[in-house]
Amino acid sequence: MSWANGRLEKSCSDDRQGTRRWGAEQWKILKVRLVSLRAAPTLADMRGVPGNCHPLSADRAGEFALDLRGPYRLIFEPDHNPVPRLDDGGIDTTRVTDIKIKEVDDYHGN
């Protein structure tokens, strides 16, 4: 697992910082999602795990999200060069073994 930036990594690596940045309830859920991602051998193994791991579309195509509290999501992408692809051009989640955490955000425009 890699991180989009050091500030995000630091906030997600320390209870005090995580609680300060996202609040106690959001931080509690976020920590569980990060543990799930670390434990999954491939992205396909996230199917059925709490958090509704799902691919994003439109301007966020190629990214995935896990539900947090309310409209917030943990957003990440495969950290492969090249990204493993299916014949139809989609991402082969059975071969995605590394991810990059990009952000925690409400991308719904609220």
- Residue 82 backbone dihedrals phi, psi, to 5 degrees: -80, 165
Q: What is the CATH number of the domain that holds 8?
A: 3.30.2310.20
Q: Is residue 87 part of a domain?
A: yes
Domain extent, residue 48, equals: 2-103
- What is the model's pLDDT at position 82? 97
Q: Is residue 49 part of a domain?
A: yes
Two structure tokens written together for 62: 């190629």
Q: Is residue 16 part of a domain?
A: yes
Predicted TM-score (pTM) of the model is: 0.94
- Residue 8 backbone dihedrals phi, psi, to 5 degrees: -65, -45
- What is the model's pLDDT at position 73? 97
Per-residue pLDDT 10s for the chain (110 aa) are: 999 999 999 999 999 999 999 999 999 999 999 999 999 999 999 999 999 999 999 999 999 999 999 999 999 999 999 999 999 999 999 999 999 999 999 977 65
Q: Is residue 108 part of a domain?
A: no
- Residue 76 backbone dihedrals phi, psi, to 5 degrees: -150, 170
Q: Is residue 63 part of a domain?
A: yes
- Residues, the chain: 110
Number of folded domains that form the chain? 1
Q: Is residue 109 part of a domain?
A: no
